[in-house]
């Protein structure tokens, strides 16, 4: 795989560019996942998210994870673009595209890649909500579930 399939950007993501990076005549399935910023997390009204990354390492890790997906799943190609900086509600923070001859492999690889990306790639998320902001996640708790549970415990 070439590194052009893995990008960190500061502007809105063009999902068609991500999809086109993997599509080919041997693939009967192309799965495109949009990780879109939602307006609520648990009981919080989210105003926007903000992402930071160690870009050279993040690109390298995405490449390594994609190579692992090629070995684990019967896929032909994988591409991922992740946005950093402020990301408004309703816009994509990440777009992943996976191509394979058959849909089952593409679907499985998409979910596996996203789970591993959240654990292994140095991209950090800050949630801005009414009344404050908090950095979320650790390698063991990428979505910050334990942190939110601890905050809400009296």
The string of pLDDT tens digits covering residues 5-23 is 999 999 999 999 999 999 9
CA atoms within 13 A on the CB side of 134: 16
User: Could you give the CA distance from residue 131 to residue 62 in angstroms, rounded to a whole number?
Assistant: 34
CATH number at residue 93: 3.90.1170.40
Torsion sign across C-alpha atoms 86, 1, 110, 139: negative
Is the pLDDT at 151 greater than 60? The verdict is: no
Q: How many domains does the chain have?
A: 1
pTM score, whole prediction:
0.87
> What residue numbers bound the domain in which 30 lies?
3-152
The answer to whether residues 60 and 145 touch, using CB atoms and an 8 Å cutoff, is no
The string of pLDDT tens digits covering residues 93-130 is 999 999 999 999 999 999 999 999 999 999 999 999 98
């Amino acid at each position: 795989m070439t590194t052009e399939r893995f990008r960190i950007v500061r502007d809105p993501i063009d999902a068609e560019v991500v999809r086109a990076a993997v599509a080919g005549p041997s693939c009967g399935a192309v799965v495109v996942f949009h990780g879109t910023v939602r307006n609520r997390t648990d009981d919080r009204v989210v105003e926007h998210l903000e992402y930071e990354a160690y870009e050279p390492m993040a690109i390298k890790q995405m490449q390594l994870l994609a190579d692992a997906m090629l070995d684990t799943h019967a896929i032909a190609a994988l591409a991922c673009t992740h946005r950093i900086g402020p990301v408004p509600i309703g816009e994509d923070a990440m777009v992943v595209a996976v191509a394979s001859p058959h849909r089952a492999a593409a679907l499985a690889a998409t979910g596996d890649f996203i789970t591993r990306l959240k654990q292994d790639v140095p991209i950090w998320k800050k949630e801005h909500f009414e009344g404050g902001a908090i950095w979320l996640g650790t390698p063991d708790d990428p979505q910050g579930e334990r942190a939110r549970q601890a905050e809400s415990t009296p």
